[in-house]
Amino acid sequence: MLLGVNIDHIAVLREARRINDPDPIDALSIAKRAGADQITIHLREDRRHIQDEDAKRIVELSPLPVNLECAIAPEIVQIVSNLNPHRVTLVPEKREEVTTEGGLDLEKNFDALKETILHFQNRGIEVSLFIDPYLEHIEMATDLHVEWVELHTGSFANIHASLYGNLLRSHHRIPSLDQPREVLANMLQKSLDALTKAAAAADAKGLKVAAGHGLNYQNVQKITPIVSIRELNIGQSIIARSIFTGLHESISTMKRLIG
């Protein structure tokens, strides 16, 4: 299984002090040596972490393919198409969110997505859609003629964290997940079943399948048996671990876990 390392949180640390380090560029060669297969970044409209110059330098200098996540806002689309990354992953975006929560609303944004997808594909850029693991979304992704879908694993990750006691900060608790363990265990299995079915359906339609959001060292091995998933994009947990172990070790350990 391929590993895309999201390096946004290196820029988060830099932007906390508005200084020049740590520089996300320094992660590129380390990621390659540690066994990563791809660099993933998100150029948000609010520029809360990765900046335009970061994105430009990363695409130009990365020894690994770059997967650039972005919303379908016209300004961002134009910037990203000029950068010409290996792949663009279209994601929903809300300024008030801490991180991207939930997949794209394909039905509501179908026409805008279709136009944006063609814009990138006409420039030779592969396109992926970040979607929730619903079969109807796989059908719409097929109709949009993208090369990839990335399945949102956030629901799975939240249930796993509640079941195994990883949601320690009260403001991160999700009321609907304050359930007995047996209920959470059943919910976890259902979320895995949904991911498995969606991945298989996408694969059967000729779509390449990635997955990501909330994956970490505790939960990722429940995802790896899903054979239709080719790639995992993981960021926050890798960068968090690297504070204590170093970036090379945190990446190589994740790579070993996913096989």
Is residue 139 classed exposed, middle or buried when 0-12, 13-18 and 19+ CB atoms within 10 A define those classes?
middle
- For residue 49, indicate whether it is catalytic: no
- For residue 126, indicate whether it is catalytic: no
Catalytic residue among 9, 137, 213, 231: 213
- For residue 119, indicate whether it is catalytic: no
Q: How far apart are CA 13 and CA 50, in angstroms?
A: 11
Q: How far is CA 24 from CA 13, 42, 56, 195, 205, in A?
A: 10, 12, 12, 31, 36
Is residue 200 classed exposed, middle or buried when 0-12, 13-18 and 19+ CB atoms within 10 A define those classes?
middle
Catalytic residue among 9, 49, 69, 231: 69
> For strand 66-70 and strand 38-42, is the pairing parallel, antiparallel, or unpaired?
parallel
Radius of gyration (C-alpha) of the chain in whole angstroms: 18
Q: How far apart are CA 84 and CA 105, in angstroms?
A: 25
Catalytic residue among 9, 42, 49, 160: 42
Q: DSSP letter at 45?
A: T
Q: Which residue numbers are catalytic?
A: 42, 69, 213
